[in-house]
Structure 1
Amino acid sequence: MDQPGYDYHIDIPGTTIFDGKQAMKGYALNKMCYDFNRAENREGFKADEEGWMEKYGLNEGQKQAIRDRDILKMIEEGGNIYYLAKLAGIFKLSVQDVGGLQTGRTTEEFQDYLKSQA
């Protein structure tokens, strides 16, 4: 429900807003990532990424983002960062690596930024 004076679809340059439209767009990707809560599913993905993406019905944009290891593109393709965290872990990316990507910083620059905010 919209609140008076609140622009629900605010445009923040460079930011993908995760709303209902994005949730629908990313349903298959997020479902696949949710299933990475189980170690055997993470191992299955590592053994056959293409087969795994096909099994979950990912669209070509989502598949290419995964092939490219492009977390920001996965977000644009409807990925929810909370679900993508498991996939990032498979790719050996930490939360701070992803934070750096999201803010246009290297991991080290992002870590320095976090320390400066303490």
Structure 2
Amino acid sequence: MVITGPGPIRFLATQWHASPAISIALTRFRTMAEIDIALRAIQLYSDMHPRPTHLTQVQAAEMLGVHRNTISKLLRAGVLRLNQCGLIPIELIDLARSTKLPPLDC
């Protein structure tokens, strides 16, 4: 079976929280066998490198592709919040990645 268009491939890549680079790379595959191999590789990598449950502000900035100061602005604006240990829950980072961040006029 030949796959047309990147939509189904990007959807499959998000099932393992693949990075945007991996999602784009998956669009190059044309058959389900190739996609199965690539998704299995993503799953193996994910199992060996589990995602942290909480991130530092610097890690959050790297994941969102923004400057550390932008994370501070997002915290002040209430878009992100810190837990009692001063870390940002990964769920908030995932939410920020999946939605367009509000403009920061802080």
Return the TM-score normalized by structure 1. Answer: 0.26
Q: Which protein is richer in helix relative to its size?
A: 1
Return the TM-score normalized by structure 2. Answer: 0.28
Larger radius of gyration: 2
